[in-house]
């Protein structure tokens, strides 16, 4: 059932139009910079593809096809998503016919009910399962907590399940454009979807990447850092080549930037693996990576650091004696 849309923001910041430039210094959106949210900005990616960044929440992508508009994700609030729809209406009168979500986190999902009721809503089967369980989400940006009702570390889950879900690959022939949706495996969550526009060398990658910040592995949603490296490595090898990767919470990045991010994750994994092999404890790992407990207040990035997550992943798999085992049952 579609929930009633509330909290429409009357503020009407003028939207800016600019030309996308994937190369150059990538920017993480800082919601506290200047003490206000960034203006909504519509970036032309070329060939009918646009990126709506700024306002509250994740980047929203949209593609104006021959007969309709395909949208990727929503903003965090209905009000912010409504502003995006208003900008789409300035660009085209074609209806929004399909909306695909990169994953189940509420910061990219909560504005879903602003899209037309007739639009087909698509996500991965695993994301749909996560939504059905109502799993909480780490706050994925340093936005003020007062836009979330449940505190600084989590957000309310949408009361909604998409009608269409898939596993593996889903191809959409959207007018003359082919759009490919891939669900490779557990990474940021268990159900992350990469949305590729192969003719344009562009992929929307949701929360697989956080620029200048540790990746977030939502372990309670089945996220897995080694799966993240696998997925990102597949993207770098994909043909036709993907040249521009669009994360949810930063400006687009290029192949070199993504390659550097993958290497940095692998370096942390290797260092933690060596420490686990030496019998080091989680406290040793935290000390080595200078991890201290960050105060859980608005404006802080509150999720666990990658080294901590990797340690948990490795030790869970390396110490089966701490769990009920078949050998024990046989005795
Ligand atoms: Zn997320």
Q: What is the CA radius of gyration of the chain?
A: 20
Q: Which pLDDT does position 57 carry in this prediction?
A: 79
Give mean pLDDT in consecutive 10-residue pieces for the chain, a chain of 331 residues.
32 35 49 67 95 89 98 90 97 98 89 92 94 77 55 60 90 97 95 97 96 88 95 96 95 96 97 96 95 60 84 76 35 28
Distances in whole angstroms, Cα of residue 88 to Cα of each of 93, 98, 169, 229: 8, 14, 27, 34
For ligand 1, the distance from its centroid to the CA atom of residue 325, given in whole angstroms, is 34
Q: Which pLDDT does position 155 carry in this prediction?
A: 60
Q: Which pLDDT does position 88 carry in this prediction?
A: 98
pLDDT tens-digit readout, 157-184: 667 788 888 999 999 999 999 999 999 9
DSSP class per residue in 130-154: HHHHT------S---GGGSTT-SS-
For ligand 1, the distance from its centroid to the CA atom of residue 151, given in whole angstroms, is 17
Q: Are 229 and 262 in contact (CB under 8 A)?
A: yes
Which residues does 197 contact at the CB level (< 8 Å), separation at least 6?
49, 63, 177, 179, 203
Q: Which pLDDT does position 24 carry in this prediction?
A: 41
Q: Nearest Cα to 95, choosing from 115, 72, 121, 75? A: 115
CA distance 183 to 167: 6
Q: Which pLDDT does position 322 carry in this prediction?
A: 40
For ligand 1, the distance from its centroid to the CA atom of residue 68, given in whole angstroms, is 27
Distances in whole angstroms, Cα of residue 56 to Cα of each of 140, 245, 248, 264: 11, 21, 12, 29
Q: Which domains are assigned to the chain?
A: 16-262 (3.60.15.10)
For ligand 1, the distance from its centroid to the CA atom of residue 61, given in whole angstroms, is 16
Q: Which pLDDT does position 30 carry in this prediction?
A: 56
The pTM (predicted TM-score) of the whole model is: 0.84
CA distance 179 to 202: 10
For ligand 1, the distance from its centroid to the CA atom of residue 67, given in whole angstroms, is 30
Q: Nearest Cα to 231, choosing from 251, 221, 245? A: 245
Q: Are 217 and 207 in contact (CB under 8 A)?
A: no
């Amino acid at each position: 059932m579609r929930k009633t849309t509330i909290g429409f923001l009357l503020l009407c910041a003028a939207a800016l139009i600019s030309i996308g430039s994937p190369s150059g210094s990538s920017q993480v959106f800082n919601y506290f910079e200047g003490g206000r949210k960034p203006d909504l900005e519509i970036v032309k990616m070329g060939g009918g593809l646009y990126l709506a960044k700024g306002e509250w929440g994740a980047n929203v992508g949209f593609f104006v096809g021959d007969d309709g508009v395909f949208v990727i994700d929503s903003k965090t609030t209905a009000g912010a998503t409504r502003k995006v729809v208003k900008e789409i209406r300035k660009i085209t009168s074609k209806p929004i016919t399909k909306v695909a979500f990169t994953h189940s986190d509420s910061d990219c999902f909560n504005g879903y009910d602003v899209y037309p009721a007739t639009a087909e809503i698509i996500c991965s089967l695993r994301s749909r399962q996560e939504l059905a369980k109502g799993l909480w989400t780490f706050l994925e940006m340093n936005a003020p907590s007062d836009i979330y009702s449940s505190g600084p570390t989590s957000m309310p889950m949408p009361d909604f399940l998409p009608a269409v879900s898939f596993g593996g690959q889903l191809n959409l022939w959207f007018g003359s454009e082919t759009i490919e949706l891939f669900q490779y495996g557990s990474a940021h969550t268990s159900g992350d979807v990469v949305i590729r526009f192969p003719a344009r060398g562009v992929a929307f990658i949701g929360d697989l990447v956080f620029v200048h910040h540790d990746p977030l592995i939502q372990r309670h949603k089945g996220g897995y850092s080694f799966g993240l490296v696998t997925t990102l490595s597949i993207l770098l090898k994909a043909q036709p080549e993907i040249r521009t990767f669009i994360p949810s919470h930063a400006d687009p990045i290029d192949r070199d930037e993504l390659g550097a991010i993958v290497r940095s994750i692998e370096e942390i994994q290797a260092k933690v693996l060596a420490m686990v092999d030496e019998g080091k404890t989680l406290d040793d790992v935290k000390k080595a990576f200078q991890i201290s407990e960050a105060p859980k207040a608005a404006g802080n990035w509150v999720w666990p650091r990658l080294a901590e997550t990797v340690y948990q992943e490795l030790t869970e798999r390396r110490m089966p004696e701490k769990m009920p085992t078949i050998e024990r049952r046989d005795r």
